[in-house]
Amino acid sequence: MFRRWLTICLCAGLALLACSPQDSPNTPAPTQVSSPAHPTPETPALHDDDTSSTGPRLRVTLPSIALLKRAPDQSAQVLLVMADPQGAYSYLLYPANRPGDVTDEFDLTDYPIELTVDESTTSATLWILAFHNQRYQIAEHLGLDALASTLASGFRTWIAEGNPAQDPLAAVVSASSGALFDWFATIDVLGQAVTTFRPEGTWPVGLETLRSADGGLSAVYTMQYLSSASATAPPEPAGTPVAGDVPTLSPAERAGYVLRLDETFSENGGESAWYQGRDNTFVNQIVDGAYEIALIDIEDRDHAVSWGSIESQRFEDYVVEAEVRMVEEDVDDGRLGIWFNYQDDYNFIYFGISTRDEYRVAIIQRNQNRIEIQDWTPHPAIRPLTAGNLLTIETSRDGSVALGINGERVRSFDDETFTSGSIAFFCYAQSVPATCRLERIRIWEPE
């Protein structure tokens, strides 16, 4: 158990808040309540999203919040707040139907927190606060919704006007004009962490980790940017979508670029020289309007895999759009995608999607040294592989890379390991037969 004292953060008149009830006789006695003014909700999470259903938004999902200094007998609640300096905020209080859980790990995958953003949004800040209730009745008397919203709105004000070096909870309690004093006097802070996201060209997305400066907690989170289109799109109907509705872009929408390659794999064999060959485990060929990889057997390992590249061309500072699809529906752990900035079979950047609706990004060197930019991670933009998916890759000679799936930006990063190269298509599966098809690929380069 530990508490970050408020002495350095609160004015002298509020210094009494810096001590716990057990430590200081000057701490005001908690308000005595005979029964909750606002009953505990039945649902496990109190969740408020200040988001628009029609605009773009950020979504943060936390599969793991680990408490590192919780005493064995302490139950814990977790408050999440995401806010921007312009005034929007969202919050999540978990659990909200009980004083807390006696656990060191919270999985909040089912309760993502979202925040509406637009062109004027300069930043978004996430606050994670874990605490133990000594007297849960005080929180109930205040009303959990009022408590959470007061903390959230106070945090929003703090990031807009406050001192970033200050303890956020200290600032919020101090600025509450007494509304949070009784509640604060009855909690033990188990840990709090703050991280800020900024749209440097694009919002940072992907899987990240966070550890609090006070040593009280660590978290694993996934950031996603949901565009206006994905925000308004209805859920995918059950069954296999029509392959022809895979999103695509017209060459006219690539201002400043020239379409260098538009490969439809027509009957004449296509415009570029793709590897074609076969052995006992695979067949790579251009057939039926696609570059097709058929995995037909598994030998000497637990999976089948094959790939093929454009053998005659290299690209630098370019944009790729690739329409990819898997034919069979019952493939065990199927994966397919693009290896770009491809140097040879052992050196490239990996961008793949899987039958588990996950994607991965990695830099492969000498087929051994691997830099995991994004380990396999679920993403709602991924369609069933048999329905077809559009992969977008934007590269620059300075090492910046932006990746998209079906029009949704999923990952951006900078790395100068490989800044130019060819393009390869790959297919992987732990069962056969498995057939992967690259049905169209377009490549733009600057004018």
Residue 233 CA to residue 219 CA, distance in Å, equals 30
Residue 129 falls within a domain, yes or no? yes
- Confidence (pLDDT) at 285: 92
Q: Is the Cα dihedral 126, 131, 133, 138 positive or negative?
A: negative
Q: Please give the pLDDT value at position 166.
A: 77
**Quick one: 424 and 275 in the same domain?**
yes
> Residues 138, 182: contact at Cβ < 8 Å?
yes
| Residues 139 and 211 reside in one and the same domain | yes
Model pTM score: 0.51
Instruction: Assess whether 68 and 148 both reside in one domain.
Output: yes
State which of 201, 230, 259 marks the end of a domain: 230
Q: Do the beta carbons of residue 311 and residue 422 sit within 8 Å? A: yes
Q: What is the pLDDT of residue 240?
A: 37
Q: Could you tell me the maximum CA-CA distance found in the chain, to the nearest angstrom? A: 88
| Cα angle 125-131-136, degrees, rounded to a multiple of 5 | 125
**pLDDT in the model for residue 162:** 67
Looking at the structure, do residues 206 and 265 belong to the same domain, yes or no?
no
Kindly state whether residues 213 and 289 are assigned to the same domain: no
Q: Confirm whether 7 is domain-assigned.
A: no
Q: What is the DSSP string of 281-340?
A: SEEEEEETTEEEEEE----SSSSEEEEEEBTT--EES-EEEEEEEES-SS-TT-EEEEEE
Amino acid type, 377: T
The residue from 206, 230, 254 where one domain ends is 230
From CA 16, how far away is CA 407, in angstroms rounded?
54
Q: Would residue 4 count as lying in a domain?
A: no
User: Can you list the residues of the chain whose pLDDT is less than 70?
Assistant: 1-39, 49-54, 162, 164, 206-207, 227-253, 267-271, 369
Joined together, the tokens standing for residue 313 give 């061309």
CB 173 within 8 A of CB 17: yes
For the stretch 179-203, pLDDT in tens is 999 999 999 999 999 999 998 777 8
Residue 84 and residue 117 in contact, taking contact as beta carbons nearer than 8 Å: yes
Q: Say if residue 160 is in the same domain as residue 277.
A: no
Q: Does one domain contain both 357 and 254?
A: yes
DSSP-derived letter for residue 200 is: B
**Structural domain boundaries enclosing 204:** 12-230
Q: Does 315 reside within a domain?
A: yes
Is residue 27 a contact partner of residue 20, using CB atoms and an 8 Å limit?
yes
Alpha carbon distance 391, 370 (integer Å)? 21
Q: Measured between alpha carbons, how far is 94 from 363 in angstroms, rounded to an integer?
A: 37
Q: Is there a single domain that holds both residue 155 and residue 137?
A: yes
The reply to whether 2 falls in a domain is no
Q: Can you give the CATH number for the domain in which 373 is found?
A: 2.60.120.200
| Claim to verify: residue 241 and residue 186 sit in the same structural domain | no
d(CA 97, CA 93): 10
Does the residue 72 lie in any domain? yes
The residue assigned the tokens 């921007």 is 84
Q: What whole-number distance in Å separates Cα of residue 275 and Cα of residue 308?
A: 5
Which of 63, 197, 57 lies closest to 127 in space, CA to CA? 197
Tell me which of 230, 250, 273 is where a domain ends.
230
3-state helix, strand, coil in the chain (%, to 5): 15, 45, 45
d(CA 41, CA 38): 9
Asked if omega into 204 is within 30° of 0 (cis), the reply is no
CATH number at residue 157: 2.60.40.150
Structural domain total, the chain: 2
- Alpha helices in 216-275, H assignment, sequence order: 228-232
DSSP state string for 101-113: BS-SEEEEEEEEE
Residues 195 and 247 in one domain: no
- Is the residue at 6 inside a domain? no
Whether residues 210 and 162 share a domain: the answer is yes
Residue 369's Cβ-count burial label (10 Å; 0-12, 13-18, 19+) is exposed
Whether 5 is covered by a domain: the verdict is no
CB 188 within 8 A of CB 39: no
Question: Is residue 206 located within the same domain as residue 83?
Answer: yes
Query: Beta partners for 307?
Result: 426
C-beta atoms surrounding 302 within 10 Å: 7
Sign, CA dihedral 297-300-306-311, equals negative
pLDDT digits (tens, 9 = 90+) for 155-184: 999 988 867 677 899 999 998 888 999 999
